[in-house]
Amino acid sequence: MDPRELAGNIGGGHEAWKDTDTEMDRKASGKLRDSYIGRIPEEDRAISVKFAWHELWSKVVHYLSREELMTLGEALVLAGAAHKDQKRSTGDPYIVHSINVASILAEMQLDVVTLAAALLHDVLEDTDITIEKLKSAFGAEVATLVDGVTKLGKLPFKSFEDYQAENLRKMFVVMAKDIRVVLIKLADRLHNMRTLADMPLNKQMKITGETDFFFAPLANRLGLYKVKTELENLSFRFRSPEEYAGIQKILEDYAVETQSIRNRFVAPIEQILKENGIDAVMTQDIRSIYSIWRHMKQKQVPFRRLESVYVFNIVFRPTLGGTCDVSEKNQCLRIYSLLTDLYMERVGSFHNYVDNPKANGYEALHCMFMTEHGTWAEVHIKSERMEEASVHGCIVKRHKNVGIGGVDAWVEEFRGTLKDMVYHDGFNNKDGFFLEGVKANLYNDDIRVFTPRGEQILLPSNATALDFAYVIHSEIGDHALFARVNGMLCSIKTVLKRG
């Protein structure tokens, strides 16, 4: 399924449960919800199962129709019967995991087909349920999604790398048709990471390795910032528990130490926004523990020498309609202009991701200002739509003026690459062709470079001037001897940079 079609499915395809605030409808909704718990095996009706199901129901009852809620309930009943007597490493009935996976996706308000597939995502692998039974009960669409996230089972492979490559290949074949497969897989991995403490150490290391190599970068590429951040933090916590705890303590002390300074920086901004009639919320968001650790390692500096431990987000509600209809970009720039009236801006700190979004579709204005304490504060300015897109990524419909690139373009490009890899005639896992192709697509953020005529060209990071020449035309690439970058004569091996 195309991301743009997926965005259209948010909110369900039918009229949601109406007037749920009335006492009668609350009782009717609760009765329907609890009726499905009563149909799963009695030994699996633990408090943890009821709590997880109630939480999932509370997230979907306001946007799914009664018929869709009933479909979700039937998926719970089948999953509960299939996973009867199975336990997680936590000691909970296995169905708790399936419900929590669906609950993660419900936070993104995905359609009932995706949620039903999430509840059933392990039945083909771990139970006697067949794909034919799934098709008969829930339709081909749900069955295809479940099959897409099912591992290959106990097929003989020469090495773990072969197993991983074949597993990824199968998932990507389905992803090329429907990206919801990957969303279910990411939710599955996220819940597994949340409960990783109960696993043996060797399995913890294996799972965190997979998460670092594949799942966290994939979430980043799809613009799922919250999922990506939590996966990175959890992985770091289990890989390096002492470093994780050390940075966590430093951040807790730093938050208390700098609170008054940050509040004094924020207060004048909130005041000037209010005076100018701008409906906005300003938040102080501390960077994740993993992000702090990564920046310390990359820059080879101690914590106290890091800049922008906090990010100040200004999220505004656009002024639309009537004579005051102003583009989101202009409203971002207006807020930026007001900030420059208050504080001194750091030269070269302005980054316009509204006109030139990041590879994962992220949009905002970034800038840095001097605080009264003599430190630089990083400010991100974005609309409510941009903020939602930064959290839900490929699930949210993009603005028509996002420009070239973004999640949709990357998914389309990745699909082409995947088809080449999956159907590559000379595929041999010993040469690492498939896994290297995955790495190239996941880890290399795109950059935008410009032709002499001002046309934008999208290239992977670390692309050279010769790569640029081949994008223009193969004849130019075949005969290129040197390049001119920003007016300077350079080698064709020169690595290009953004802009």
Residues forming the active site? 125-126
Q: Are 357 and 363 in contact (CB under 8 A)?
A: yes
Of 272, 284, 252, the closest CA to residue 337 belongs to 272
How many whole angstroms separate alpha carbon 395 and alpha carbon 105? 11
How many whole angstroms separate alpha carbon 177 and alpha carbon 201? 36
**For 38-159, where are the alpha helices, taking DSSP H only?**
47-60, 66-82, 95-106, 112-119, 123-126, 131-138, 140-149
As given in the structure block, the two tokens for residue 204 are 């913890």
Tokens 């697509």 sit at which residue?
A: 441
What's the half-sphere exposure (Cβ side, CA atoms, 13 Å) at 493? Answer: 0
Amino acid found at 342: L
Assign 213 to helix, strand or coil.
helix
What's the half-sphere exposure (Cβ side, CA atoms, 13 Å) at 421? Answer: 27
DSSP 203: H
Of 416, 60, 353, the closest CA to residue 223 belongs to 353
Containing H/E element for 304? none
CA angle 28, 32, 36 (to 5 degrees): 165
Containing H/E element for 39? none
Cβ contacts of residue 345 below 8 Å, gap of 6+?
339, 367, 368, 369, 370
Residue 286: strand pairing partners: 310
How many whole angstroms separate alpha carbon 127 and alpha carbon 342? 63
What's the half-sphere exposure (Cβ side, CA atoms, 13 Å) at 168? Answer: 24
Pairing, β 376-383 against β 365-370: antiparallel
Print the SS3 string covering 398-422: CCCCCCCCHHHHHHHHHHHHHHHHH
How many whole angstroms separate alpha carbon 209 and alpha carbon 235? 8
